Amino acid sequence: MWEIRKKFKDYEQRKVFAGVLDEKTLFTLYKLSNKGHFEILYGFVKQGKESSILIGEKKDGEKVAIKVHAVEAGNFKRIWPYLEGDPRFYRIKRTRRGIIYAWCKKEFKNLSVAHKAGVPSPKPIAQLNNVLIMEFLGHDFTPAPRLCDITLQEPEKIFKDVIKYIRLLYKANIIHGDLSFYNMLWHKNKVYFIDFSQGVLTSHANAEYLLKRDIQNVCKDFARYGIEVNVEEIYRKVVE
């Protein structure tokens, strides 16, 4: 599937994506491409109900990951509590589209904070409407595996790193909100955090609950390696 280059600007090939992405999203992609964020669109890494990831390539050959948040399929009941009360999004349009655009912008902002704070994560590149462009983690056209897809060689060390990253993120005032082996990639011998759309500020009404839930989910995932820890104790270490 990946051998077929799909030049987005080429009308015939544009049709390939038109069947999957809506008109407005195609226009957003077109704008981002014109700004130089990518030259070629290859295809999907993952196609999901709520979001899809595509691989793009810049003029200089660098690959980028392009995340498209679906506007129609958005599950508003689920995402609204993560947006509500966030001072960064007081004035969003309360329409289907307005909420998804804010959701995408939130992911970009959270990712930017995480990246700057030194949490291994894809370098944020650009965001417009429901589209986010970031560094592609992987080799050639193969995305880096998720932690749930592989067997870790040094689980104790990696567990410590993950807690360190959660703490770094917390110190930068962000809680991931959806942390587990599903949202961590193994790339260049390191764990990378991805998928920051659910992330909230530490001032969020449910911050403590969400942070504890993240820690609990991570501990549950590491338990398969026989790592047993006290969630409360780790929570205190993260916030101290």
Ligand X SMILES: Nc1ncnc2c1ncn2[C@@H]1O[C@H](COP(=O)(O)OP(=O)(O)O)[C@@H](O)[C@H]1O
Binding site for Mg ion (CB under 5 A): 183, 195
- Is 185 within 8 Å of 191 (Cβ atoms)? yes
Residue 132 binds: one of ligand X, Mg ion, none (C-beta under 5 to 8 A by kind) = none
Task: Give me the count of residues in the chain.
Answer: 240
**Token couple for 50:** 């709520």
194 close to 184: Cβ distance less than 8 angstroms: yes
Give the active site residue among 86, 178, 214, 221: 178
Q: Per DSSP, what are the bridge partners of residue 44? A: 54
The identity of residue 229, as a single letter, is V
Contact between 136 and ligand X per CB under 6 A:
yes
Binding-site member from 143, 166, 179, 200 for ligand X (CB under 6 A): 143
82 touches ligand X by CB under 6 A: no
Q: Report the site for ligand X in 88-127 (rule: CB under 6 A).
A: 122
**Active-site residue, 149 included:** no
Mask 38-77, x = binds ligand X (CB under 6 A)?
Answer: -------xx-x--x-x-----------x-x----------
Cα separation, 57 vs 47, whole angstroms: 18
User: In sequence order, which residues have a C-beta less than 8 Å from that of residue 5 and are 6 or more positions away?
Assistant: 40, 42
* Residue 30 near residue 97 (C-beta atoms within 8 A): no
If binding is defined by CB under 6 A, does position 133 make contact with ligand X? no
Which chain residues interact with ligand X by CB under 6 A? 45-46, 48, 51, 53, 65, 67, 122, 134-138, 143-144, 146, 183, 194-195
